[in-house]
Amino acid sequence: MTNPSKITEGGVEFSIGTFNGKAVNYNFHKIIIYLNAKGKLLFGKHFKIYEEDHSIILKLCNYFVKDYESCNRDGIDPTKGILLSGPVGCGKTSLMRLLKFIVPLQRPYIVIPCRNIVFGFNHVGHKIIEDYGNSQFFCFDDLGVEPMGRHYGKDCNTMGEILLSRHELFLNHAIKTHATTNLNAQELEDLYGNRVRSRMRQLFNLIAFDKNANDKRK
């Protein structure tokens, strides 16, 4: 029987809690040790989890491991996706790429930059909107800084259209969508309009870094 509290990386076994045969009792300290190790494998030896980010990471961990009591305390709805916001370089993308590994038995999501999606739209048109309005789980990275889509001379707010499609998927099939953004709620509304913004409230739990969070890239 698979033990979901044990994860092996690079020949090393990590424990992220204890398993009683039915459920995992997760240990946040052990999860941090694992995330540091996995982060170094994914992003290089200079990667590290910063203590100042532990409160954000704890909320994200509680969400991903479906700790309903903690989610309820933090005002997080486990049925929705995550919109992780914060300043440039605070580590949003790295965390979203990392955290899916603590729940290897859950259905994974694909992290994809929004600008790549728009470039695809410019090349092949509305098929791209259909492709990202499917039942795959996605995390749209850097939402809101992508250019306007343009195909055969016609402009299209590509990510806005995709978010509308994802909202339909969420309502009809409980398909989750995640995203990261540098923008605040007002900036997102200015960019995508009130219609999309209201649907984003239904799609996402907003988890935000402090606006003064350090740029880890420096």
Q: Any idea which residue has 């979203």 for tokens?
A: 96
* Average of per-residue pLDDT across 108-116: 96
Taking the domains of the chain in order of start, what are their residue ranges? 77-208
In this prediction, residue 100 carries a pLDDT of 95
* Average of per-residue pLDDT across 76-104: 95
Q: Which tokens sit at 198? A: 């209201």
* Average of per-residue pLDDT across 83-87: 95
Pick the CATH number of 77-208 from 3.40.50.300, 3.40.1350.10, 2.40.30.10, 2.30.30.100: 3.40.50.300
Predicted TM-score (pTM) of the model is: 0.93
Predicted confidence (pLDDT) at residue 211 exceeds the cutoff of 60: yes
Four-residue CA torsion sign, 82, 87, 88, 92: negative
Q: Give the phi and the psi of residue 177 in degrees, each rounded to 5.
A: -130, 135
In this prediction, residue 215 carries a pLDDT of 75
> What is the average pLDDT score of the chain?
93
Other CB atoms within 10 Å distance of the CB of residue 190: 13
Q: Residue type at 64?
A: F
Distances (CA, A) of 84 to 17, 33, 94, 178: 25, 22, 11, 8
Q: Which of 100, 86, 94, 156 is nearest to 128 (CA)?
A: 156
**Cβ neighbours for 169, distance < 8 A, ≥ 6 positions apart:** 133, 134, 135, 175, 177
In this prediction, residue 213 carries a pLDDT of 79
15-37 residue pLDDT tens: 999 999 888 999 999 999 999 99
Predicted confidence (pLDDT) at residue 147 exceeds the cutoff of 80: yes
